[in-house]
Structure 1
Amino acid sequence: MKRVVIGRCLGAVAMLLGMGALHAAGVQVTDDRGVTVALAQSPQRIVSLLPSLTETVCELGQCHRLVGVDRYSNHPASVRSLPQAGGGIDPNIETIVALRPDVVLMATSSRGVQRLESLGLKVLALEPRSSTDAQRVMGKLGQLLEVPDAQRIWRAIDAGVSAAAQSLPARQRPLRVYYEVSTGGYAAGTQSFIGEMMGRLGVQNIVTPDLGPFPRINPEYVVRADPDLIMIGSRNVQGLELRPGWAGMRALRERRVCIFTPEESDVLVRPGPRMADAARLMARCIAARGAP
């Protein structure tokens, strides 16, 4: 009997010691630079400098941990009241430091990473460009925030994109589409999450894979490709027909142009929790403007 009691006590002690060791280990996440960020515990004060990361934190149910965001983070509505700390290309270092974050979330391409780290701040750099990237980032943020089964959100996103694709009728010949992401002629390439979504919706991207995920496209390239359909945000649409040769393109002649509102564009260009909504927006465009 004594042996049983002693055995149970030793088991309980071992369990407690194991829990203590787990707590002592804290949280470790390797970011897209290959840098392992170690924290004593899951961060309670977070500054996010990329809208898709902001949205993912909130979708994971941890919006309350955000103490600051970039100027473009506007969803969900609750983040609009948070202090703004500049943007990816011009982060406000003083503001970020004053917010006393446990960790700063930003893109690998953002400026200021080394400066923030030199000031003693923890930086987790994540940059989702493809759908695979977005899924991986979802998992890493779930790990950072200690949210179990973060991939359930990704499974819901994937199911939503599939449903949007199934809502469209099959075509004998895929629509040839040009998607302009931002001013300056930056397009969604086939390797981007937008380009991958276009493929799942059954349309053909006029941008060839060798140009990368978000290449800057010469207007003449689009004229030569002569797409059946153009997708573009209202911020970029001004002067579209004045671009050299564009007035004669089929898509403009036949008014096969989908112009997305700023709010819709935000949904479409962010590789995060609203990707299923983005697929539905694109499917609606294809159904409305893609008919022969």
Structure 2
Amino acid sequence: MATALRLSFRWVWWWAIVLMAGLVQAQAQPIQVTDDRGRTVLLPAPPQRVVSILPSLTETVCALQQCQRLVGVDRFSNWPAAVQALPQVGGGIDPNIEAIVALRPDVVLVATSSRGSERLEALGLKVVALEPKTHADVQRVLGTVARVLGLPPGDAQRLWHQIDAGVQAAAQSLPAGVRQTRVYFEVNRAPFAAGASSFIGETLTRLGAQNIVPAELGPFPKLNPEFVVRANPDVIMVGDRNFAGLTDRPGWSRIRAVSRGQMCVFSNQEADTIIRPGPRMAEGARLLADCLRRYAQP
């Protein structure tokens, strides 16, 4: 009987070794993705050291429960709070190439508009460029980041369903009067606006509001301030960092939203939540819904 037990133990031990070897081999499988530049990026194994130079990508990594893989972020990444303790490597327009290289990343996540990608690749680093601008883009980028990290597709799918359900819940919480509300959302004081085809515009549409900036002008068009005067929105939405001087623009005192004081000025933290196309989109939708509820037509 003792001999049989020893043999049984050996078989169990042998199968455990085989299973562990298979798991390690599966984890070390090469990963291939196509980024938003149309470039194919081949990673020899799931990256354990990740640098992110776009806040929405930083948030996506963390929302996929992989924050521990981040070793560096851009200066604007501030959520979740833990990433604020990581080394900062500049921003999209001024990445600190030396600092990034010094962190020895397995992959660098950047926006397609980021500078320095070619330089990083020339230095031998793997670069994946992603820049979501619509709801569909956010869903796609979630899946791409999950693949880059070697995660099963279900992780990204579950996260997207949570985001989408949160946006829908915000929409269902609003009264019918919101559908008569014409909205202008200013992203930057240039002024750049969130058009109907942007992810912010799509959220506003799902909430029932009418965006004064039509889809044909593009996701985030730069406008002539007179365009907003002529459109005469009922509600203006803007972040606090871009609010200074807005009401002093020529003719803007005649805009219905300004004359009636129907403006939502979001704190910097709230604005970050709203303008980042990523895992906090449902929270952003709730902030927009709270504003619309305040000024909804009876």
TM-score by length of 1: 0.91
The answer as to whether partners of 2:178 and 2:293 remain within 8 angstroms in 1 is no
Q: 1:185 aligns with which of 171, 176, 191?
A: 191
Letter in 2 for 1:96: I
- 1:239, distance to aligned residue in structure 2 (A): 1.2
Give the whole-Å Cα distance in 2 for the aligned partners of 1:17 and 1:50: 36
SS at match of 2:60: helix
Letter in 1 for 2:191: G
Q: What does residue 282 of structure 1 align with?
A: 288
Q: 1:99 aligns with which of 103, 108, 111?
A: 103
- 1:83, distance to aligned residue in structure 2 (A): 0.3
Pick closer, same or farther for the CA change 1:177–1:102 going to 2, 3 Å.
same
Q: 1:112 aligns with which of 113, 116, 123?
A: 116
Give the whole-Å Cα distance in 2 for the aligned partners of 1:23 and 1:99: 22
SS at match of 1:264: helix
Which range moves more in the overlay, 239-248 or 222-231?
239-248
Q: 1:54 aligns with which of 49, 54, 58?
A: 58
Q: What does residue 133 of structure 2 align with?
A: 129
Q: 1:89 aligns with which of 93, 97, 102?
A: 93
Give the whole-Å Cα distance in 1 for the aligned partners of 2:46 and 2:216: 40
Give the whole-Å Cα distance in 1 for the aligned partners of 2:28 and 2:198: 39
- 1:290, distance to aligned residue in structure 2 (A): 3.2
Pick closer, same or farther for the CA change 1:23–1:281 going to 2, 3 Å.
closer
The answer as to whether partners of 2:170 and 2:289 remain within 8 angstroms in 1 is yes
Letter in 2 for 1:160: G
SS at match of 2:180: coil
Pick closer, same or farther for the CA change 1:248–1:76 going to 2, 3 Å.
same
The answer as to whether partners of 2:97 and 2:120 remain within 8 angstroms in 1 is yes
Q: What does residue 147 of structure 2 align with?
A: 143
The answer as to whether partners of 2:179 and 2:210 remain within 8 angstroms in 1 is no
Moved >4 Å (runs of 4+):
15-25
TM-score by length of 2: 0.90
Q: What does residue 45 of structure 2 align with?
A: 41
* 1:228 counterpart = 2:213: no
Q: What pairs up with 1:166-205 in 2 under 5 angstroms?
A: 166-171=172-177, 174-205=180-211
Uncovered stretches (5+) of structure 1, i.e. residues with no partner: 1-11
- 1:45, distance to aligned residue in structure 2 (A): 0.3
* 1:243 counterpart = 2:249: yes
Q: What does residue 259 of structure 1 align with?
A: 265
Letter in 2 for 1:191: S
SS at match of 1:104: strand
Which range moves more in the overlay, 160-169 or 179-188?
179-188
Once the two structures are superposed, residues 259-283 of structure 1 have per-residue CA deviations (whole angstroms, 9 ceiling, x without a partner) of: 0000000000001110000000000
Give the whole-Å Cα distance in 2 for the aligned partners of 1:286 and 1:89: 34
SS at match of 1:171: helix
Letter in 2 for 1:201: L
Root-mean-square deviation over aligned CA pairs = 1.9
- Count residues with an aligned counterpart: 280
The answer as to whether partners of 2:184 and 2:212 remain within 8 angstroms in 1 is yes
Give the whole-Å Cα distance in 2 for the aligned partners of 1:45 and 1:173: 47
Which range moves more in the overlay, 196-205 or 140-149?
140-149
SS at match of 1:111: coil
- 1:20, distance to aligned residue in structure 2 (A): 8.6
Letter in 2 for 1:236: N
SS at match of 2:36: coil
The answer as to whether partners of 1:229 and 1:290 remain within 8 angstroms in 2 is no
Pick closer, same or farther for the CA change 1:144–1:166 going to 2, 3 Å.
same
Q: What does residue 4 of structure 1 align with?
A: none
Q: Percent identity?
A: 61
Uncovered stretches (5+) of structure 2, i.e. residues with no partner: 1-14
